[in-house]
């Protein structure tokens, strides 16, 4: 999968003497890509759901930037108010972050939950963790995830409307200093502590889904139960689970795809 262009820049810094990692980015470009994708895909979310999705994309991006490039992360975030399931995934090896929000036919679990799955390239198995959080602030949800699942504290702050900062404890971190941070202190962070640039990465809102990919997903069902898949209809609509884009799949094209695979 090739990303069209570099995308937004995420910088990570090491805080000397405090032993913490800072990840920061201005997400205006990613939010603009999200809007263009939604317009092109005919997707429309109420403002509350759109805000959830934007915060999830930003938090996932900073989390990926603070982790090894070999890791591929996926979060499913269930919120009760508003009632929604937000899905986001990030892959640092290609610099892609993508997500969507489900607001219809969502079953209320009675809790706000974050399901986090990590697949490390070359690793033996996935890692899955589930944490409960309070409220509907996804930045606070990420802090809870770090405390409970990553076993180290992290703080997230809105430096500006589209500028978000994440500070994560490293070994021997000055946790008293980390706990004392607030928005005012974060705004003057580079004045109060010494920051050393660690790395610059680039990420873009990008899925890469296509009609061909969706047809390959449906291929096993089409081979065994085409009537169950299409019924009496000549077409079906399939929603990409990663970005929410809807793809129109015709029975004729699926029959041709089955025939094509039989020849291989």
Q: Are 162 and 28 within 8 A, CB to CB?
A: yes
Cα 220 to Cα 215: distance, rounded to the nearest angstrom: 10
Residue 125 pLDDT: 63
Q: Which residues pair with 207 in a beta bridge?
A: none
Residue 2 pLDDT: 58
Q: What letter would DSSP give residue 207?
A: -
Which conformational region is residue 37 in: left (phi greater than 0), alpha (psi within -120 to 50 degrees), or beta? alpha
For the whole model, what pTM was predicted? 0.91
Give kind and range of the element (H or E) at residue 259.
helix 251-263
Contacts 24+ apart (CB under 8 A), 218-223: 218/249, 218/254, 219/254, 219/257, 219/258, 219/261, 222/254, 222/255, 222/257, 222/258, 223/258
Cβ neighbors of 11 (< 8 A, separation 6 or more) are 23, 24, 25, 197, 199, 200
Q: What is the mean pLDDT of each run of 10 residues along the chain (264 residues)?
A: 77 97 97 95 94 98 96 96 97 95 94 95 78 95 97 94 96 97 95 96 93 91 92 92 93 92 79
Cβ neighbors of 183 (< 8 A, separation 6 or more) are 157, 158, 159
Q: Which residues pair with 116 in a beta bridge?
A: 75, 129
Q: Are 24 and 195 within 8 A, CB to CB?
A: no
What phi and psi values does residue 74 have, to the nearest 5 degrees?
A: -140, 130
Helix, strand or coil, per DSSP, at residue 103:
coil
Residue 180 pLDDT: 97
Q: What letter would DSSP give residue 37?
A: H
DSSP assignment of 162-194 = SEEEEEEE-TT--HHHHHH--HHHHHTHHHHS-
Cα 117 to Cα 63: distance, rounded to the nearest angstrom: 13
Q: Which residues of 237-247 are buried (b: 16+ CB within 10 A; e: fewer)?
A: ebbbebbbbeb
Residues 13/17/18/22 CA torsion (nearest 10 deg): 0
Cα 47 to Cα 57: distance, rounded to the nearest angstrom: 15
Of 120, 194, 191, 186, nearest to 157 by C-alpha is: 186
Residue 249 pLDDT: 94
């Amino acid at each position: 999968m090739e990303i069209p262009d570099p995308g937004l820049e995420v910088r990570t810094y090491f805080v000397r003497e405090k032993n913490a990692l800072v990840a920061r980015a201005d997400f205006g470009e990613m939010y603009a890509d999200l809007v263009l994708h939604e317009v092109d895909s005919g997707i429309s979310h109420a403002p509350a759901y759109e805000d959830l999705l934007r915060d999830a994309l930003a938090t996932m991006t900073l989390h990926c930037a603070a982790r090894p490039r070999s890791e591929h992360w996926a979060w499913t975030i269930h919120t009760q108010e508003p009632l929604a399931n937000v899905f986001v995934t990030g892959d640092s090896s290609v610099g892609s972050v993508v997500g969507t929000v489900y607001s219809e036919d969502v079953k209320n679990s009675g809790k706000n939950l974050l399901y986090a799955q990590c697949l490390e390239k070359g690793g033996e198995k996935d890692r899955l963790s589930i944490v409960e959080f309070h409220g509907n602030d996804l930045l606070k949800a990420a802090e809870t995830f770090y405390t409970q699942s990553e076993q180290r504290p992290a703080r997230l702050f809105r430096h500006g409307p589209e500028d978000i900062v994440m500070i994560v404890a490293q070994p021997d971190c000055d946790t008293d200093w980390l706990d004392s941070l607030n928005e005012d202190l974060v705004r003057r962070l580079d004045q109060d502590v010494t920051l050393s640039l660690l790395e610059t990465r680039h990420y873009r809102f990008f899925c890469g889904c296509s009609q061909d990919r969706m047809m390959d997903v449906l291929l096993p069902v089409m081979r065994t139960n085409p009537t169950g898949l299409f019924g009496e209809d000549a077409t079906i609509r399939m929603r990409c689970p990663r970005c929410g884009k809807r793809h129109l799949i015709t029975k004729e094209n699926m029959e041709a795809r089955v025939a094509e695979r039989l020849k291989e």
